[in-house]
Amino acid sequence: MRLVLVTGMSGSGKSVAIRLLEDIGYYCIDNLPGPFLPEVCAFLTAAGHNDLAVSIDARSEATLSDLPNAIAGLRRAGYDVRVLFLTASTTALVQRYAETRRRHPMSQRLAAEGAQQEPTLIECIEAERELLAPLDGLGHTIDTGDLHPNTLRLWVREFVDSPRSHVTLAFESFAFKHGIPVAADLVFDVRNLPNPYYDPRLRPLTGLDEPVVAYLTSAPLVGEMIDDISRFIDRWLPSYVADNRHYVTVAVGCTGGRHRSPYVVEQLAQRFRSQAHVLVRHRSITRGK
């Protein structure tokens, strides 16, 4: 059985992920306490289900501490367990709650702890972030702060469709003007490289288009930067694997996220496909200029 555990911050897109998994054929369970995972997996496997998705979050606070042991036990038993942790900046989460006007699930818990006044939304978000911090390192983390729901659906589909691998490298381009992705393990700044934006013919294009590729390929500084980043990743990736990290996200940023960083990400991904399973993501390539 393939088991996908979807966890993370309230408002980060867990419902979007679970609905996508249900649409592609997963048997989905929302808010299952961790200790029941082995029993549920055994029952559904016997019933002929091969793909299971389970959402576990702060609502299961009492059993969150048991989750790492449950995951380890399932992996020892031969289950293909993949953990997807969704997060976003506090600013992004506050904006989403302001739009939906929903009550944060941590508000009742904080009030019950004897708060003298109604806890603020930011207090609820930070309390949940602290509560879920031990789960953040269990799997692959996606920062959904500036993602369109359709982009998140695509990334979730790519995540679950990926083959088993000892490590998955996610190369992600982004725009510094929109902020650094909070889920990045390694961040590289390529704003010092020649910028195609200042060429009127190249400005409307992206780092995936051949004229921009040719422009950046011809600049020696770009190749040197890619070589240096490759050597750094190649040097330190084994230490992540030795630390039992199954997912490493490498974020590469430029000013607008449309030219230099997508090109560099594509080049890095091509170099590392022989060493690990590689995912390629571009956060800002479809944004306006």
Whether 161 and 41 have beta carbons less than 8 Å apart is answered as no
Predicted TM-score (pTM) of the model is: 0.71
Q: What is the pLDDT of residues 219-235, one digit of tens each?
A: 999 999 999 999 999 99
- Map tokens 């367990």 to a residue: 81
pLDDT of 271 above 50: yes
Looking at domain 2-161, which of 3.60.20.10, 3.90.226.10, 3.40.50.300, 3.30.450.20 is its CATH number? Answer: 3.40.50.300
Could you tell me where the DSSP H helices lie in 47-148? 67-76, 90-100, 107-112, 121-132
CA dist., res. 26 & res. 67, Å (int) = 21
Q: Roughly how many angstroms between the first and final C-alpha of the chain, as a whole number?
A: 44
β strands within the chain, DSSP E = 2-8, 27-30, 51-55, 80-87, 140-143, 168-175, 186-189, 247-254, 277-282
Q: What is the pLDDT of residues 13-44, one digit of tens each?
A: 999 999 999 999 999 999 888 888 899 999 99
Q: What is the mean pLDDT of the chain?
A: 90
Q: What is the pLDDT of residues 238-266, one digit of tens each?
A: 898 887 778 899 999 999 999 999 999 99
- Domain definitions of the chain by residue range: 2-161, 168-282
How would residue 58 be classed by pLDDT, with cut points 50, 70 and 90? confident
- State phi, psi for 256 to the nearest 5 degrees: -105, -10
Give the residue among 254, 250, 192 at the shortest CA–CA distance from 221: 192
